[in-house]
Structure 1
Amino acid sequence: MMELIVISKPTLFKEESSLINQLFEAGLQVFHLRKENVDEAAYRKIIKGISPEYHSRIALHHFHSLAGDYHIQRIHHTESFRKERHSGELPENKIFSTSIHHLADRNQIGQYNYSFFGPVFNSLSKPGYKSMIPSHFRLEKHQAAPKIIALGGIGLTEIDQVKEMNFDGIALLGSIWNDPSQAITTFKKALVKCEA
């Protein structure tokens, strides 16, 4: 079974927390809260709107200090943050994720639990963000390496192909949020495909 992660829409929108709760109710295990240009108050508002029983499934991309306020166990380090941070051990009481855009960087992320890699296909949410891998790509697994989660341009029709590429999971963004009225339906169909 492939893991299925949902990343938040980059911009704020009405009823967002309600929709995130519905995704959790539908079986979502991990939700990445990533908003590039919003302040801490907006992050707090979203988290407060999410049922506390789901807080442990949220991964924070920004404002990591909020983790303590809301019992959040997951922290995401962007590629730039990770590189600026250099090395040093990560605390063991949290689940850490990061992102890479080149598979050669896998040797720099050994202490992370998992990493996003992409774009696997041309992005659905960022025009001009093109795939970086060949069509017959297959991920080589390394012993004790972090799990690699495919990201970028993944809709329902691409999930089987991502499975064949040997990724540990997929992250959905554009396919969920480009039409929020279909978000739950799309998620449920994707979950069935990932569990098949």
Structure 2
Amino acid sequence: MKLVIITQPQFFIEEDRIITALFDEGLDSLHLYKPGSSPLYFERLLTLIPEDYHSNIVIHEHFYMKQEFDLAGIHLDDPDADVPQGYRGKVSRSCTDLSKLKDTKKKSQYVFLHDIFDRQQNGSSESGFSESKIHEASRQGLIDKHVYAFGGMNADNIRWAHDAGFGGVVLCSDIWNRFDVHSQVDYNDVIQHFQRLRKLAR
């Protein structure tokens, strides 16, 4: 099962080093998501990440950078959005509605199915879908290797996602909450936690 990490919405000093270290540890894909940020900052971050890893990075805006930096593809956060005119390459999309999942898959390399779990609050998480709905969607072939679970994913539910038939999980707060962008420079906790997640995803 693939592990995908989506970036923090803000840029920070150690970000390129952490991303590079995560790729060194076997990260499958990074989604570069910085809504509303200047393309200049995107370009700076990408130039600091080794070129060998650019083919594993997907960008959510400033789509011209896909070709400029030879990135893996682009991601459309709206499942109904059209591919930019003239674009040729891989496209992934987000989806929040199981009834739209089949059509979204047809026009995507893979799909992030959002709200599998809500954001963690007070050490617990609440499912955005009932477990029976997820397993029924899997039985019907809606959930397969082209659908990645997104929303509250962590070490406690990776195996659940695997058993439910998802092809990957999208990690965000479970990774980035282990590093304080304002005060830390040591990111060993992030890397060690990712190593644990890799073992769970096998």
Partner-residue secondary structure (3-state), 1:38: coil
Checking the alignment, whether the CA contact within 8 Å between 1:34 and 1:62 is kept in structure 2 is: yes
Residue 98 of structure 2: aligned partner: 103
What is the percent sequence identity of the aligned residues?
23
Cα distance in 2, alignment partners of residues 62 and 70 from structure 1: 14
Partner-residue secondary structure (3-state), 2:111: strand
Q: What amino acid is aligned across from residue 183 of structure 1 in structure 2?
A: V
Checking the alignment, whether the CA contact within 8 Å between 1:118 and 1:131 is kept in structure 2 is: no
Checking the alignment, whether the CA contact within 8 Å between 1:33 and 1:59 is kept in structure 2 is: yes
Residue 67 of structure 2: aligned partner: 68
Cα distance in 2, alignment partners of residues 84 and 59 from structure 1: 17
Q: How many residues align?
A: 187
Q: TM-score of the superposition, structure 1-length normalised?
A: 0.86
Cα distance in 1, alignment partners of residues 8 and 84 from structure 2: 30
Residue 189 of structure 1, aligned match among 174, 188, 196: 196
Checking the alignment, whether the CA contact within 8 Å between 2:4 and 2:169 is kept in structure 1 is: yes
Checking the alignment, whether the CA contact within 8 Å between 1:113 and 1:146 is kept in structure 2 is: no
Q: 1:153 to 1:46 in 2, by over 3 A?
A: same
Residue 183 of structure 2: aligned partner: none
Residue 17 of structure 2: aligned partner: 18
- Gaps (5+ residues) in structure 1? none
Q: What amino acid is aligned across from residue 104 of structure 1 in structure 2?
A: S
Q: TM-score of the superposition, structure 2-length normalised?
A: 0.83
Q: What amino acid is aligned across from residue 31 of structure 1 in structure 2?
A: L
How much is the aligned-residue C-alpha RMSD, in angstroms? 2.6
Cα offset for 1:89? 10
Q: 1:141 to 1:24 in 2, by over 3 A?
A: farther
- Gaps (5+ residues) in structure 2? 180-186
Cα distance in 1, alignment partners of residues 130 and 46 from structure 2: 38
Partner-residue secondary structure (3-state), 2:131: coil
Q: 1:191 to 1:51 in 2, by over 3 A?
A: same
Partner-residue secondary structure (3-state), 1:132: coil
Residue 184 of structure 2: aligned partner: none
Cα distance in 1, alignment partners of residues 160 and 30 from structure 2: 23
Checking the alignment, whether the CA contact within 8 Å between 1:89 and 1:111 is kept in structure 2 is: no
Q: What amino acid is aligned across from residue 100 of structure 1 in structure 2?
A: C
